[in-house]
Amino acid sequence: MSDKGKINTIDRSVIENMSVETLRSLLQDDFNAVDGILDTETLLYATEVLSRKENRVNMETPNLEESLEEFKQEYLSQTEKTEHLCDAPNRCERQIEQFEHHKSLKPKMKAAMIIAAVVAVMMAASITASAMGFNLWDTIVAWTRDTFGLTEQIDESENETPSQLGRLRDVLGEYGITGYGRLPTYLPAGYEEENTQCMDLGEFTVFSCVLGNGENQIILDYRQYMSDDDSVVYQKDDGELEEYMAGGINHYITSNEGKYLCVWIDESIECSISGVDSREELIKIIDSIYGEKK
Amino acid sequence: MDIEQSAFVEKIYREMFKQMYVYAYNILGRPGLAEEAVQETFIVACSKADYIMNSESPKGWIINTLKNVIRNMQRKMENLNKLVIDSLPLEDYIVGIGRNDDYTDVEYSDMISSEEYLLLKKIALQKYSMMEAATELGISVEACKKRVQRAKSKLREIIESN
pLDDT at A109: 36
Long-range contacts of B39-43, Cβ-Cβ distance < 8 Å, separation of 24 or more? B39/A67, B39/A70, B39/A71, B39/A74, B39/A75, B39/B131, B40/A75, B40/B69, B40/B73, B41/B65, B41/B66, B41/B69, B42/A71, B42/A75, B42/A76, B42/B9, B42/B12, B42/B13, B43/A75, B43/A76, B43/A79, B43/A201
pLDDT at A149: 30
How far is residue A81's CA from residue A76's CA, in Å, rounded to a whole number? 8
pLDDT at B33: 92
pLDDT at A247: 80
Mean pLDDT, rounded, for A185-194:
89
Of the candidate ranges A102-106, B138-142, B152-156, the one whose mean pLDDT is the lowest: A102-106
Confidence of residue A188 (pLDDT cuts 50, 70, 90): very high
pLDDT at A283: 93
Residue in chain B closest to A4 (alpha carbons) equals: B60
Mean pLDDT, rounded, for A141-159:
36
Q: Which of B14, B26, B67 sits opposite A64 (nearest CB)?
A: B14
State chain B's mean pLDDT as an integer: 83
Residue of B23, B78, B155 to mutate when probing chain A, most A C-beta within 10 A = B23
Could you tell me what percent of chain A has a pLDDT over 90? 13
Q: Which of B18, B142, B149 sits opposite A51 (nearest CB)?
A: B18
Residue B16 has pLDDT above 80, yes or no: yes
pLDDT at B12: 92
Given an 8 Å threshold on Cβ–Cβ distance, is A67 in contact with B39?
yes
Q: How many CB pairs under 8 A join A and B?
A: 139
B82/A contact by beta carbon, under 8 A? no
pLDDT at A13: 83
DSSP state for residue A200 in the 8-state scheme: E
Q: Which of B35, B42, B64 sits opposite A235 (nearest CB)?
A: B64
- Residues from chain B contacting residue A78 (CB–CB below 8 Å): 140-142
Could you tell me what percent of chain B has a pLDDT over 90? 25
Residue of A8, A25, A27, A31 to mutate when probing chain B, most B C-beta within 10 A = A31
How far is residue A113's CA from residue B75's CA, in Å, rounded to a whole number? 20
Q: Determine whether B26 is exposed, middle or buried from the number of CB atoms within 10 Å of its CB (0-12, 13-18, 19+).
A: buried
pLDDT at A6: 56
B134/A contact by beta carbon, under 8 A? yes
Min Cα–Cα distance to chain A from B85, Å? 17
Residue B96 has pLDDT above 80, yes or no: no
Residue A155 has pLDDT above 60, yes or no: no
- Residues from chain A contacting residue B131 (CB–CB below 8 Å): 70, 74
pLDDT at A187: 92
Q: What are phi and psi of A97, to 5 degrees?
A: -60, -40
A10: left (phi over 0), alpha (psi -120 to 50) or beta: beta
Decide which of A275 and A119 is more confident. A275
Mean pLDDT, rounded, for B137-149:
85
Could you tell me what percent of chain A has a pLDDT over 70? 56
Contact map slice: B 34-73 vs A, CB within 8 A? 35, 38-40, 42-43, 46-48, 50-51, 54-57, 59-61, 63-65, 67-68, 70-72
pLDDT at A77: 62
B79/A contact by beta carbon, under 8 A? yes
pLDDT at A143: 37
State chain A's mean pLDDT as an integer: 68
Confidence of residue A150 (pLDDT cuts 50, 70, 90): very low
pLDDT at B35: 92
pLDDT at B25: 92
Residue A107 has pLDDT above 90, yes or no: no
Residue A165 has pLDDT above 70, yes or no: yes
Residue in chain B closest to A83 (alpha carbons) equals: B1
**String of DSSP letters for A16-61:** HTS-HHHHHHHHHHHHHSTT-SB-HHHHHHHHHHHHHHHHHTT-PP
Residue in chain A closest to B62 (alpha carbons) equals: A40
Given an 8 Å threshold on Cβ–Cβ distance, is A217 in contact with B16?
no
Q: What are A193-250's pLDDT values in tens digits?
A: 888 887 766 667 788 888 988 888 899 988 877 666 566 666 667 677 888 988 878 8
H or E segment and range at residue A219: strand A217-225
How far is residue B35's CA from residue B43's CA, in Å, rounded to a whole number? 12
A155: left (phi over 0), alpha (psi -120 to 50) or beta: beta
Please check whether residue B114 is in contact with residue A52, taking contact to mean a CB–CB distance below 8 angstroms: no
ipTM of the complex: 0.77
Q: What is the pTM of this model?
A: 0.55
Given an 8 Å threshold on Cβ–Cβ distance, is A140 in contact with B68?
yes
pLDDT at B21: 93
pLDDT at A89: 35
Mean pLDDT, rounded, for B25-32:
91
Q: What are A254-267's pLDDT values in tens digits?
A: 888 788 999 988 77
Q: What are B37-93's pLDDT values in tens digits?
A: 999 899 888 888 888 888 888 999 999 889 988 998 898 888 888 888 888 887 777
Residue A159 has pLDDT above 90, yes or no: no
Q: Which of A27, A61, A231 sits opposite B26 (nearest CB)?
A: A27
